[in-house]
Structure 1
Amino acid sequence: MSVNATTVSAGEALRVLEAGWAAQVSGGLTASWMLHGRPGVGKTELVQTLARRIGAELFDLRLTTIEPQDLRGLPYFDHEAAKTIWYRPEDLPDTDAPAILFLDELTAAAPALQPTVYGLLQERRVGRHRLPDSVMIVAAGNRIEDGAIAYDMGTALSDRLIHMIVQANPEDWLKNYAVEAGIHASVAAFIRTRPDLLETTEDALRRGQMIACTPRSWTRVSRIMETVPDRALRQVMVAGTVGAAAAAEFALLADEIAATVQIDAMMDAPRKDRAALYPRTLHGLTALVYGLVGAAHRENLSTAIEILADLRGLGGQGYGGLPVSELAAFGFEMLIGRALERGWEEAFADSPDYAAYAAERQAAGLL
């Protein structure tokens, strides 16, 4: 049975869930939510981000690892009342503070567990255990066509949920996830160059291949790049994460970036000496922008602004044909977003370089 819901990026799904939480807090809507999507598309990270943004404690239940009685709790006999009483399980939120109950792998859970979940999703209770009004319920799971273990969701279950299909979107991943998650500059630059390789599950299934590229696997590649210095060993790990073909292509770009991108040196160098440190290729300049934004903090933000401002002027210095202005504008957009999230706006307000950039963009009708 197909899921006839709207397909959205992870960033769009996050905004929908934030609006759903706001509606629940106001008392206008109390709903349970379902995120469908291929393995590794970022459903779990999305819910973790939601919890951080709304200041909620996250209760993560992997439904493939529990039995119905795990949700109902442990029974004991009250001899005075001549009744069986059920202890509340610790996995269910019992607080008036904001909380998210995340029912992960819902579509892979045993059918015998589904009737127990019905009460949670619709009546917000299991037996006599009720969820406080401060709890938001979000479920997630894969579809049968995603090549994962999954059961068809019956109408009795699906009718209790608001559904969204989460799909990998390279632009969304780079803009709304990569910098915040500290994705290695070479990975970010590679996905910007080869957005078709962010998520290749469908192609891998068609070819009968076990390993596919996913947002989750590229996040793992990023960690490998940060922690494994030996290139040969690193290459084996990357190939085992995203497949040999994607790994070979990525290695060429990573080598180029490692040889040309010097974020720390540019940050430390006097402004007059930085021109010689700019990479000479599109891959290198792209990695520079991502690395620069990722390395920015309150103390060095003015230096990052200078480097992006000077990047715009490289077009007439042997960089003809490279979109340096576009890369600088993209870098400023990400850097401003990072600054707004952390309260660093004064660095932009005090920067003559950004003022000149903003004035030029405004004159061109771009602001």
Structure 2
Amino acid sequence: MSVNAAEVAPGDALEILGAAWRAQADGDLTASWMLHGRPGVGKTEIVQTLAARHGAVLHDLRLSTIEPQDLRGLPYYDHETRRTLWYPPEDLPHGDAPSVLFLDELTAAAPALQPTVYGLLQERRVGTYRLPDATLVVAAGNTVEDGAIAYEMGTALSDRLVHLVVGADARDWVERYAVGAGIHPSVVAFLRARPDLLETTEAAIRRGETVAATPRAWTRVSRIVAAVTDRRQRHAMIAGTVGVAAAAEYELVADEIAAALDLEALLAAPRRDRAALYPDGLNGLTALGYALAARATPDTIDTTIEVLADIRDLRAPAQRALPLAELVSFGFEVLIRKAFDRGWQAAFARSEVYAAYMAERDAAGLA
């Protein structure tokens, strides 16, 4: 059966779960949540980020690896009451600390386990154990159509959940995820140019291919690029992560960026000498905008704003043919998001360069 729920980008799913967290804390809404999505789309990372953002303890249960008794606990005989009682498992939340109970791989759980999960999702209990009030319950899983090991979700299970379908979204991945995850600039520039290659699972299944590109796979590519210097070895690793075709296209862009971009030289040069150090091509300037935001620190943010804003004034013929205003806007969107997350807003308030940039946008009716 298809999941007839709203499809949202990972960043939007995180915001929705954040609203659920606040509503539950206020006593206005208590529900259990289900994230559907293809493998590698970022479901687990959404829940990890949610817990970290709210200072919550994350209890991560992989339901495909446990038995019903692992949730119910172990029985023991109470001689005083002459009754069998239960020791609840340590994997479940205990105490008053804010917690997220993450029931991962729910759709891969054995059918015999699902009735045990029902109580956690709806009544928030298993046997005599009850979930603490400060616990948010989130489940996740793949579907049969994703090519993953999964069971169809029955109505008794489905009705206990609020469902969200998490879909890969290149813009969301670049702007909301890449900076915080330290993704390599060449990967960001490539996926800005080829958003269709962020996630290729469906096409890979249709062609009978084992390896597909996913957001998780591109994160791994970024780490490979940063860690492996031998070109031949790196190519084999990248091809084994996102597939031969995607790897070949990515490496063309990566080579172009490596030849054109020297970020350290740009940041170190006096403003009057920087023009010759900017890349000429779209991929290089896209990577530069992202790299400036990713590398920004409290000590360098003033120079970062200056280097980024000056992209709009580049004069080389190849550069003037490019969407420079859009590239600057993209760079500032990513940089401002990072600055607000880190509390660096004052840098923009004191920057004369940024004030001039915003005045130009206002005059053009873009602010």
Any conservation in 2 of the 1:100–1:138 contact (CA below 8 Å)?
yes
Partner in structure 1 of residue 348 of structure 2: 348
Distance in 2, Cα, partners of 1:316 & 1:185 = 23
Q: Secondary structure at the match of 2:279?
A: coil
Letter in 2 for 1:184: H
Match of 2:84 in 1: 84
Cα contact 1:218–1:242 (8 A) shared by 2? yes
Contact 1:315 1:324 in 2 (8 A): no
C-alpha displacement at 1:22, in angstroms? 1.1
Alpha-carbon separation, structure 2, partners of 1:29 and 1:52: 21
1:276-297 superposed Cα distances (whole Å, 9 cap, x missing partner): 2111111111111111110001
Q: Could you tell which deviates more after superposition, 54-63 or 157-166?
A: 54-63
- Report the AA paired with residue 118 of structure 1: Y
Give the letter for the 2:32 counterpart. S
d(CA) in 2 for partners of 1:306, 1:330 = 15
Q: Which residue of 1 aligns with 2:144?
A: 144
CA distance in 1, matches of 2:312, 2:74: 65
Give me the whole-angstrom Cα distance separating, in 1, the residues matched to 2:194 and 2:146. Answer: 22
Taking the aligned partners of 1:121 and 1:347, their CA distance within structure 2 comes to 46
1:111 and 2:127 aligned: no
Task: Output the amino acid matched with 2:45.
Answer: E
Shift of 1:334: 1.2
Unaligned residue ranges in structure 1 (runs of 5+)? none
Report the AA paired with residue 62 of structure 1: R
Please tell me the root mean square deviation across aligned C-alpha atoms, in Å: 1.1
Amino acid of the structure 2 residue aligned with 1:63 = L
Aligned-pair distance for 1:317? Answer: 5.9
Write the distance in 1 (CA, Å) between the matches of 2:213 and 2:352: 42
Asked whether 1:132 is paired with 2:138, we answer no
CA distance in 1, matches of 2:315, 2:60: 50
Q: Secondary structure at the match of 1:298?
A: coil
1:216-263 C-alpha deviation (Å, 9 max, x unpaired): 100000110111111111110000000001101111111111111111
Q: Distance in 1 between matches of 2:319 and 2:21?
A: 48
Is residue 175–residue 333 contact of structure 2 (8 Å, CA) maintained in 1?
A: no
SS at match of 1:179: helix
**Matches of 1:98 and 1:316, distance apart in 2:** 55
Change (3 A) 1:223 1:309: same
Partner of 2:335: helix, strand, or coil? helix
Contact persistence 1:315–1:322 (CA under 8 A): no
8 Å CA contact retained: 2:174, 2:192: yes
Instruction: Quote the offset at 1:264 in angstroms.
Output: 1.8
Q: Give the drift of 1:315.
A: 4.2
Q: Which residue of 1 aligns with 2:44?
A: 44
Contact kept in structure 2, 1:260 and 1:284, CA below 8 Å: yes
**Secondary structure of the residue that 1:299 maps to in structure 2?**
coil
1:349 Cα offset (Å): 0.8
**TM, length-normalised to structure 1:** 0.98
How far off is 1:316 after superposition?
Answer: 5.7
Contact 1:199/1:213, CA 8 A, preserved across alignment: yes
Aligned residue for 1:68? 68
Instruction: Report the Cα distance in structure 1 between the residues aligned to 2:101 and 2:303, rounded to whole angstroms.
Output: 42
8 Å Cα contact 2:37-2:141 kept in structure 1: yes
User: 1:260, 1:8 → 2: CA distance?
Assistant: 36
Matches of 2:309 and 2:159, distance apart in 1: 53
Q: Percent identical across equivalent pairs?
A: 66
The CA distance in 1 between the partners of 2:348 and 2:364, in whole Å, is 20
Aligned equivalents of 1:318, 1:157: Cα separation in 2 = 58
Taking the TM superposition and a 5 Å limit, the aligned residue runs for 1:143-222 are 143-222=143-222
Equivalent residue, structure 1, for 2:307: 307
Give the Cα–Cα distance (whole angstroms) in 2 for the partners of residues 359 and 231 of structure 1.
45
Q: Structure 2: which amino acid aligns with 1:348?
A: F
Residue of structure 2 in register with 1:334 after alignment: 334
Instruction: Give the Å deviation of 1:175.
Output: 0.9
Look up the match of 2:229.
229
2-structure distance, mates of 1:317, 1:209: 43
Would you identify which runs of 4 or more consecutive aligned residues in structure 1 move more than 4 Å?
315-318
Letter in 1 for 2:341: E
User: 2: distance between equivalents of 1:112 and 1:207?
Assistant: 34
Deviations along 1:33-85, one digit per CA (max 9) or x if unpaired, are: 00001111110111111112222111111001111111111222222221222
Local SS of the residue matching 2:265: helix
Structure 2 distance, partners of 1:218, 1:22, is 32
Give the corresponding residue for 2:290: 290
Displacement after TM superposition at 1:320 (Å): 1.9
Q: Distance in 1 between matches of 2:201 and 2:170?
A: 14
Q: Displacement, 1:360?
A: 1.1
Query: Could you list the per-position Cα deviations for residues 300-339 of structure 1 after superposition, in whole angstroms to 9, with x for gaps in the alignment?
Result: 0001001011111014665121111210111111111111
Q: Equivalent residue of 1:319, what SS?
A: helix
Indicate the residue corresponding to 1:238 in structure 2: 238
Query: Contact 2:281/2:318 (CA < 8 Å) preserved in 1?
Result: no
Q: Is residue 106–residue 139 contact of structure 2 (8 Å, CA) maintained in 1? A: yes
Residue 180 of structure 1 and its aligned partner are, at CA, apart by 1.4
Deviations 1:72-107 (A, max 9, x none): 112222222212221121110112121100000000
Counterpart in the other structure of 2:3: 3
Between the two proteins, the alignment pairs up a number of residues equal to 367
**Structure 2 unaligned regions, length at least 5:** none
Q: 1:86 is matched by which residue type in structure 2? A: W
